[in-house]
Structure 1
Amino acid sequence: MLKDGQVYLGTSFLTDKDGNQSSQGEYLNLKLANRHGLIAGATGTGKTVSLQILTEGFSAAGVPVFCADVKGDLSGLAVAGEPKDFLAKRAETIGFTDDYKYEAMPAIFWDLFGEQGHPIRTTISDMGPLLLSRLMDLNATQEGVLNIAFKLADDEGLLLLDLKDLRALLVNMEERRKELSTAYGNVSTASIGAIQRQLLVLEQQGAEHFFGEAALDIMDLMRTTRDGRGMVNVLAADKLMQSPRLYATFLLWLLSELFEELPEVGDRDRPRLVFFFDEAHLLFDDAPKILVEKVEQVVKLIRSKGVGVYFVTQNPIDIPDGVLSQLGNRIQHALRAFTPRDQKAVRVAAETFRPNPGLNTRETIMAMGVGEALVSTLMKKGVPSIVQQTLIRPPSSRLGPLTKAERKEIIQNSPVYGVYDEPKDRESAFEVLKERAEEKARREEEQRAEEDRQREDKGRMRKGRTGFTLPDFGRDDRPTRSSRRKSTRRRNSNRQSVAEAAMKSVARSVATSLGKALVRGILGSLKRGF
């Protein structure tokens, strides 16, 4: 599985011009594994197995892995494989019998819904307006209003932890719409209403499980075992895939968090973490140009943080050219050319490999069987190897999903068991704004009671001087317009007590300090440690 700092992928068979055959192992160099990669191929051609053997190799080398389990098959990484004839035959064919053994990988199971693994949560503030706008499919105007909401929360020191916090803030913005439009820009009722409707859609998709605390600590994805193996973090994504925009936005947020939080480490002998992005086309489907540009920027820069990103998809054309050009390590399974789009995908896949004089890459892509792939990885100095048709090695862990009992046992023995399983709800924007509204209603009630008392006092004074109640003679007890203006000015000037003024001053200074401390990164997520 490992040889001289390289992960064994499989064996290719070569035929020279004289018809002589030879074989050579195909390896992934760990020093260059942070230069990202691509696993592509049609459904049923072996992409999942390629992902599985890469994960096993990285884990054995002490590299933690994060991968999404879209079909449930990857959960089998957590238990040892079972002897099967076709696995033994493949190992014998490629000369892997001496090193081949069945073993389990150390795994942690995660689930946004908290059903098949430990819950993963983040806060609304941590995600930021850019990714949240993408998640809610907002237009430019609505995204602008959402940016104002985040700016207002930062300025007033309001924590946005979950969906109810954001909803409460939007209600507050509607009540203060004229004031905020002057200070921050136009805040329209229509945009606020559109955002509120999209929040309801998110709740129906189960996003309320994702937003809140305890928020995920990225370092919990980068654990190793006592014997030096990297932990394999498996995200249960079978249910999550029913909400593809939530799936794509979550993985993009996670990539953003890794980029923002991890320090620069330069070149290492192996990555700090490898991140597999399955069903990668969902990230780019209908994505605005600015988001695609930012993803491209993150992919370019995150390798200096020691993170390798591997996209798994059916067609290479699902990946924008700017991102595809960054993927140096490639495993290309078979493609079928039934449509013009399929033919284009075959052509693109063939042309992106370093040519092999003895191999017709384009024809080979369409003719390969299950478990075969075209492999090209980065060699010394980052030069891609000549593409070779390769028989992928059999996995050491189980092919297929875990049982419910097996999954439950692994979750209960997890190093993060009990850390994230119970939600927390500390005071945040919802509670603060509710308290403000109640305080405002109380002050208004006290003011009305005071005005009623003053009117009663005036009536009693008139009755006390004459011994009987003076006739009204058509006069209204209500003050005249000029007296009302004076009274209003007097009340306004007296409404803010010394204590209230002090509290407002403290609030302003806190908000200012928060505004300086809250710095957002490339994809809008919060940077920490400032």
Structure 2
Amino acid sequence: MLEEGKIYLGTSRKPDDSINRPEYLDLKFGNRHGLVTGATGTGKTVTLQVLAEGFSNAGVPVFCADVKGDLSGIAAMGQEKDFLMKRAQDIGFADYDFQEFPVIFWDIYGEKGHRVRTTLTEMGPLLLSRLINASDAQEGVINIAFKIADEGGLPLLDLKDLQAMLNYMGDNATELSNKFGFITKASVGSIQRELLILEQQGAANFFSEPALKISDIMRTTNDGRGAISVLAAEKLMMNPRLYATFLLWLMSELFEQLPEIGDPEKPRLVFFFDEAHLLFNDAPPVLVQRVEQVVRLIRSKGVGVYFVTQNPMDVPQTVLAQLGNRVQHALRAYTPNEQKAVRTAADTFRPNPDFDCATVITTLGTGEALVSTIEAKGAPSIVQRTLIRPPSSRLGPITDQERKQVMSVSPVAGVYDADFDRESAFEILTRKAEAAAQAQAPEPAQPKSTGTIGGWTLPGFGTDDTPQPQQKEQKRSGYQRESVVEAAMKSAARAAATAVGAAIVRGILGSLRGRR
């Protein structure tokens, strides 16, 4: 029943309920992405657990989110139960055995796993705008804030850094508008209010250091199994936008950092995106377009992305077309919209002449699914009505004591548990503001602060180290043409800023590239 190079999913049945054949997912096509759908209580989580077990045993690291808490049982050995043994017997699974799997628990809040963080600089302006549901004008201001930070050598690491940057932009809106485009204090204030709400929802736990290293979710054990990283998302789901943005950031990090390897014999990592509809709800077209681009291109880097959701219509058609491996659990069709969803799901499969997909989808039992995977030459297999195999690990959650035991022997124990706050935009801007304030004091012997950072002069922090004789300012009206000297100075400043900013390169989703 178990075959080398393949993951056993279950056994299909003929229309007369007799056993047909075992259904496999070929590891060679594991990076062709996938979709697991079905109504609540139909067995999606168990299917995810079975897939994660199979990839782990094949030496493929896995990252998945535990949105209900019951996926944590994958870290414990399964227990013999009547319904599990009956399912194994019904599908002819003679090799069925119990085992525990190497698991690393993660948690943004640090309560049920190791702390997982990133910085605002690494997340980038596009995903941050998505996180606070920014308007077009607000998104423009956020992009300017990141531009100033990149050019001025002002690391944006946590929320207080961005708040300090926004305060600075509001105080110097006129000068900065001349260089970067129109900035209004109203937009700055709106963003600050949204950041305050975000902070109250716990985002301050996420934006800090040390940032998560991608290598720590791509580990294998000494016996060759892939580590399964489980993100505790029960509390995180109280802020679904943060949950979706975090997983999207992680997917973009994988895309930006991993090298091209073509189509390997097995994936380098498999990424499960549970509650995938949260990613696309109210998402602007540009974000959906870039997600589709990442999903399409990340395959060549050996990463498989599997979306888990209730309805295939939750995923845009452009993304849905990239998902080659499909597991469809039961859907209910009581309303016109639900009936449309059933027809959509049925139309995504390669038809089986033995039955009508749309009819079968509404009659599937718990733990039963329509399965179609990529076969030889990259073509999808004919859809089969399949009884999903029972998992080898525990069904249901582990205890708090068991979780602590797993975390104590984790390969990343102690690495991410303590916060690290290095000098960043908040400290730099505060220091420069204090220096500028002192320079304005009536002390003739004290030189002014330049406010020059990374070769670029920040408005509001002075422009010259040498005290200049005070002259009565002449009133000007209308547009004044800048002198040749002024133009040359501005050109030199821009060139210096460009030289500093040349090392800052952002990828498709705005995350930082080439920094490690």
Question: Structure 2 length normalisation: TM-score?
Answer: 0.90
Spell out the pairing of 1:33-432 with structure 2 (5 A cutoff).
33-97=30-94, 99-432=95-428
Aligned partner of residue 237 in structure 2, secondary structure: helix
- 2:501 — aligned with what? 515
* Distance change >3 Å, CA 446–CA 508, structure 1 → 2: farther
Measure the CA separation in 1 of the matches of 2:122 and 2:335: 43
- Comparing 187-196 with 171-180, which one deviates more in the overlay? 171-180
- 1:464 — aligned with what? none
Return the letter of the residue paired with 1:514: V
Measure the CA separation in 1 of the matches of 2:266 and 2:496: 43
456, 467, 488: which one pairs with 2:471?
488
Displacement of 1:505: 13
Measure the CA separation in 2 of the matches of 1:291 and 1:410: 37
Measure the CA separation in 2 of the matches of 1:352 and 1:328: 10
Return the letter of the residue paired with 2:376: K
* Distance change >3 Å, CA 431–CA 86, structure 1 → 2: same
Contact preservation (8 Å) 2:11, 2:19: no
The structure where helix makes up a greater share of residues is 1
Aligned partner of residue 63 in structure 2, secondary structure: strand
Displacement of 1:340: 1.0
Contact preservation (8 Å) 2:371, 2:383: yes
- 1:527 — aligned with what? 513
Contact preservation (8 Å) 2:296, 2:322: yes
Aligned partner of residue 124 in structure 2, secondary structure: helix
Displacement of 1:43: 0.1
Return the letter of the residue paired with 1:401: P
Displacement of 1:510: 7.2
Spell out the pairing of 1:23-34 with structure 2 (5 A cutoff).
23-34=20-31
Contact preservation (8 Å) 1:67, 1:277: yes
Return the letter of the residue paired with 2:100: A
- 1:436 — aligned with what? 432
Measure the CA separation in 1 of the matches of 2:358 and 2:17: 23
Deviations for 1:285-341, whole angstroms, at most 9, x for unmatched residues? 000000000000100000000000000000000000000011100000000001111
Measure the CA separation in 2 of the matches of 1:182 and 1:207: 33
* Distance change >3 Å, CA 75–CA 197, structure 1 → 2: same
Displacement of 1:14: 2.3
- 1:499 — aligned with what? none
Measure the CA separation in 2 of the matches of 1:185 and 1:384: 50
Contact preservation (8 Å) 1:374, 1:390: yes
Percent identical pairs in the alignment equals: 64
Contact preservation (8 Å) 1:13, 1:24: yes
Measure the CA separation in 1 of the matches of 2:493 and 2:243: 37
Displacement of 1:120: 0.7
Measure the CA separation in 2 of the matches of 1:104 and 1:235: 18
- 1:473 — aligned with what? none
Deviations for 1:7-34, whole angstroms, at most 9, x for unmatched residues? 000001225xxx7944200000000010
Displacement of 1:513: 3.4
Contact preservation (8 Å) 2:19, 2:91: no
Measure the CA separation in 2 of the matches of 1:197 and 1:347: 44
Deviations for 1:378-416, whole angstroms, at most 9, x for unmatched residues? 001111100010000000000000111010111111000
Deviations for 1:16-56, whole angstroms, at most 9, x for unmatched residues? xxx79442000000000100000000000000000000000
Measure the CA separation in 1 of the matches of 2:142 and 2:190: 11
Deviations for 1:236-274, whole angstroms, at most 9, x for unmatched residues? 000000000000000000000000000001111100000
Contact preservation (8 Å) 1:157, 1:511: no
Displacement of 1:447: 3.5
Measure the CA separation in 1 of the matches of 2:235 and 2:50: 24
Aligned partner of residue 32 in structure 1, secondary structure: helix
Question: Which segments of 5 or more consecutive residues in structure 2 lack a partner in the other structure?
Answer: 447-467, 474-489
Aligned partner of residue 210 in structure 2, secondary structure: coil
Measure the CA separation in 1 of the matches of 2:491 and 2:32: 51
Measure the CA separation in 2 of the matches of 1:157 and 1:449: 29
Question: Structure 1 length normalisation: TM-score?
Answer: 0.88
Give the structure with higher Rg (CA): 1
Displacement of 1:487: 2.7
Measure the CA separation in 2 of the matches of 1:505 and 1:140: 30
- 1:7 — aligned with what? 7
Q: Report how many residues are paired.
A: 479
Contact preservation (8 Å) 1:70, 1:236: yes
User: Which portions of structure 1, spanning 4 or more consecutive aligned residues, are displaced by more than 6 angstroms?
Assistant: 504-510
Displacement of 1:172: 0.8
- 1:454 — aligned with what? none
* Distance change >3 Å, CA 131–CA 508, structure 1 → 2: same
Question: Which segments of 5 or more consecutive residues in structure 1 lack a partner in the other structure?
Answer: 451-484, 491-503
Displacement of 1:446: 4.2
Say what the alpha-carbon RMSD is for the aligned residues.
2.0
Measure the CA separation in 2 of the matches of 1:487 and 1:391: 86
Measure the CA separation in 2 of the matches of 1:61 and 1:267: 16
